[in-house]
Amino acid sequence: MPNPPQDGLDNRASTPPYRVLPTPQNWRGVAQGLKDAGTLLRLHLYAKAEDALLQLLEFAPMEGKAWHLLGRCHQEQQRHAKALECFERAACCYANQNSNDMPPASARLARLMWDQGEEDGARSMLDLLLMRQPDDMSLLAMRQEWQGEMLLEAAE
């Protein structure tokens, strides 16, 4: 299977470009994603920056800096209403991070960490998500699945 393109877009398809979803194999992490998006913004490549930020936000929806950069991207393109919405989300993320000292968490990020072999971090994130949403069936199913995998590994 060919390596996915660096910018997250597959240029073989006709318009619109086929988007390669982040997976454990091509996910570069939040810090690198923010750095890449900032570079794309400075180069005035707004569509690519927006796509990179939206992919990042799928895995880290509480990343205030990503919302801020997405707001700047919209602002540069004169989409002021969208920019304002992004800036408000960024402010909310920053306020939440400062108010409760709990790390940002998402089910997608927990799943990605698990798939990359970071089981302890993934379990911690899942526990945090379950504290916030104890009746979420998808989170409960994920916990049950992981417990089953751990039991199988222990039996081997």
Q: Determine the pLDDT at residue 2.
A: 43
**Tokens 């709990």 correspond to what residue?**
102
- Is residue 83 domain-shared with residue 124, that is, in the same domain? no
In this structure, are 63 and 34 located in the same domain? yes
Judge whether 2 lies within some domain: no
Question: Do 87 and 16 fall within a single domain?
Answer: yes
Categorize the per-residue pLDDT at 46 as very low, low, confident or very high, splitting at 50, 70 and 90.
very high
pLDDT value, residue 108:
81
pLDDT digits (tens, 9 = 90+) for 79-136: 988 888 888 888 888 777 655 555 567 788 888 788 888 888 888 888 888 887 888 8
pLDDT of the residue at 41 = 93
19-43: burial string, b at 16+ Cβ within 10 Å, e else: eeebeeeebeebeebbebbbebbee
The pLDDT-based confidence of 141 (bands split at 50, 70, 90) is very high
What confidence tens digit (pLDDT) does each residue in 7-31 have?
444 444 444 455 555 555 566 778 8
Quote the domain boundaries for residue 130.
107-155
Q: Are residues 131 and 111 in the same domain?
A: yes
- Do 84 and 29 share a structural domain? yes
Looking at residue 99, its pLDDT comes to 57
CA pair distance 74, 66, nearest whole angstrom: 12
Q: Say which range, 19-33, 39-53, 57-71, 77-91, has the weakest mean pLDDT.
A: 19-33
Number of domains in the chain: 2
**What does the alpha-carbon distance between residue 14 and residue 1 come to, in Å, rounded to a whole number?**
20
Whether residues 93 and 130 fall in one domain = no
Residue 26 included in any domain: yes
Global pTM?
0.51
